[in-house]
Amino acid sequence: MSTDKHYQGLINKYREYLPVSDKTPVVTLNEGNTPLIKADNLAKKIGLDAEIYLKFEGSNPTGSFKDRGMTMAVSKAKEEGSNAIICASTGNTSAAAAAYGAKAGMKTFVLIPDGYIALGKLSQAMMYGANIIAINGNFDEALERVIDISKNYPITMVNSLNPYRIEGQKSGAFEIIEALGDAPDYHFIPVGNAGNITAYFKGYEEWLAINKSTHLPKMMGFEAEGAAAIVRGERIMHPETLATAIRIGNPASWEKAERARDLSGGVIDSVTDDEIVEAYKMIASTEGILCEPASAASVAGLIKSNKTKAVKEGSKIVCILTGNGLKDPDNAIKYALADVKKTSADINDILRAMNI
Ligand code: F0G
């Protein structure tokens, strides 16, 4: 282990809670340790007298929570002697796999649904040097192909079906418990392939078992309405939502998400695209945090739950903001509806435009 004092990523920090040994070659970009930001303006805006915290996973090195799982998955792949990784992705997993693959010196293959991933994510996979395969099909089909390929070729699958992904991602729950001194009362989270809700719940369960917390939070998972397979209880063949990150019709960790819901007394519900956009804009304008549309499903879920009085006043609430809004500038510009005033460089013109 290094004697450096500065933060060196979640494997070094939480080593004793992870399936690693001194022999594991740690591939890290110093992921994790993301800010938990108190959101009093948001609480006021939605009329809820409670402590709301936003965990901004967009501050991870590749701009999403996927880095937490990828540091584990790639380190373990390397330990096992693999020299190639593959994933299906709506964008963020591909960016993370490509970055950690580059850091590890491994060949990286990413399968993406052609035309349905945000521009920033595609540019990341390109720059990190992944082999990008854009299929004429959706995420669910891409994942099926990746499972097939990883069974038949010596290429390690790094989607969240890889258990090391979940191990890494559970560290988010540890950070929340450390920051708040206990688990929150409610944990709001977007649900796509359902790996992240599974991972957080595992983290909360493990730390409850060793008395680092006193209770489990109610796990409040939200799918996009056009991709709400778990809510509807059936696979959706053609999922649709503007939140492309969670445009998934057959979540791989479906049963585990239901288990988290049931054991914690939580819910898995859906939010509409309009509700997602409302939350997306509100988080930016009230709290100064730009997350991506899919991430805003957590806060959209909180707004919806508050309307039906499903959250108790005075409680502690954490909403996970899973990815950075800079990944998706097209949607930011489209929904901000900002009035950009153009003027000459003359100060009088500028002052007129400022309207002061
Ligand atoms: N939020 C963002 C920004 C995501 O990228 C994803 C999933 C989720 C939420 C949902 O998390 O799948 O664990 O339930 N993105 C995957 C990807 C599917 O390929 O990047 P989940």
In the predicted model, what is the mean pLDDT of residues 76-105? 98
pTM of the model: 0.97
Nearest-angstrom CA–CA distance, 28 and 130 = 18
Q: Which atom of ligand 1 is nearest to the CA of 257?
A: 14
CA-closest candidate to residue 44, choices 287, 330, 346: 287
How many CB atoms within 10 Å of residue 234? Answer: 11
Give residue-wise pLDDT tens across range 28-81: 999 999 999 999 999 999 999 999 999 999 999 999 999 999 999 999 999 999
Q: What pLDDT, in 10s, does the model give residues 212-268?
A: 999 999 999 999 999 999 999 999 999 999 999 999 999 999 999 999 999 999 999
Predicted local confidence at residue 180, as pLDDT: 98
Give the count of beta carbons closer than 10 Å to the beta carbon of residue 181.
Answer: 10
194 lines ligand 1 (CB under 6 A): yes
Owner of token pair 């914690």: 264
Task: For ligand 1, atom 6, name the residue with the nearest CA.
Answer: 245
Residue 73 and residue 52 in contact, taking contact as beta carbons nearer than 8 Å: no
Question: Percentage of residues in the chain with pLDDT exceeding 70?
Answer: 99
What pLDDT is recorded for position 3? Answer: 61
**Ligand 1 centroid – CA 214 distance (Å):** 29
Tokens of 44: 């006021």
Q: Which helix (H) or strand (E) holds 131?
A: strand 131-135
Instruction: Report pLDDT for 224.
Output: 98
Q: Where are the alpha helices (DSSP H) in the chain?
A: 10-14, 40-46, 66-79, 92-104, 119-128, 139-152, 163-169, 171-180, 195-209, 229-232, 254-264, 273-287, 297-307, 329-336, 347-354
User: How far does the centroid of ligand 1 lie from the alpha carbon of residue 129, in Å?
Assistant: 21
Nearest CA to ligand 1 atom 11: 192
Q: pLDDT digit string (tens) for 122-146?
A: 999 999 999 999 999 999 999 999 9
Pocket-testing residue among 56, 90, 110, 166, ligand 1, by greatest number of atoms within 8 A of Cβ: 90
- Kindly give the number of the ligand 1 atom that is closest to the alpha carbon of 221: 14
Answer whether 92 contacts ligand 1 (Cβ < 6 A).
yes
Instruction: Give the span between the Cα atoms of 336 and 74, in whole angstroms.
Output: 37
What is the rounded CA–CA span in Å between residue 221 and residue 248? 14
pLDDT of residue 199: 98
Q: Is 257 in the pocket of ligand 1 (CB under 6 A)?
A: no
CB 191 less than 6 A from any atom of ligand 1: yes
> Taking a C-beta distance cutoff of 8 angstroms, is the pair 289, 321 a contact?
yes
pLDDT value at position 5? Answer: 84
Mean pLDDT of all residues in the chain? 97
The verdict on the CB of residue 298 being under 6 Å from ligand 1 is no
With contact defined as beta carbons under 8 Å apart, do 249 and 269 qualify? Answer: no
For the Cβ of 246 lying below 6 angstroms from any atom of ligand 1, the answer is yes
Name beta bridge partners: 157: 86
Residue nearest to atom 4 of ligand 1 (CA): 245
292 lines ligand 1 (CB under 6 A): yes
- Chain centroid to CA 325: 12
Q: What is the pLDDT of residues 103-124, one digit of tens each?
A: 999 999 999 999 999 999 999 9
In this structure, which residue's CA is closest to atom 3 in ligand 1?
323
Give me the pLDDT at residue 2, please. Answer: 54
Specify the pairing of strand 51-56 against strand 36-38.
antiparallel
Three-state SS string across 189-238, please?
Answer: EECCCCHHHHHHHHHHHHHHHCCCCCCCCEEEEEEEHHHCHHHHCCCCCC
The 267-271 sheet, strands edge to edge: 36-38, 51-56, 316-321, 186-190, 218-224, 267-271
* Mean pLDDT along residues 152-179: 98
Task: Report which ligand 1 atom has the smallest distance to the Cα of 89.
Answer: 19
Ligand 1 site, residue 143, Cβ cutoff 6 A: no
Q: Are 52 and 41 in contact (CB under 8 A)?
A: no
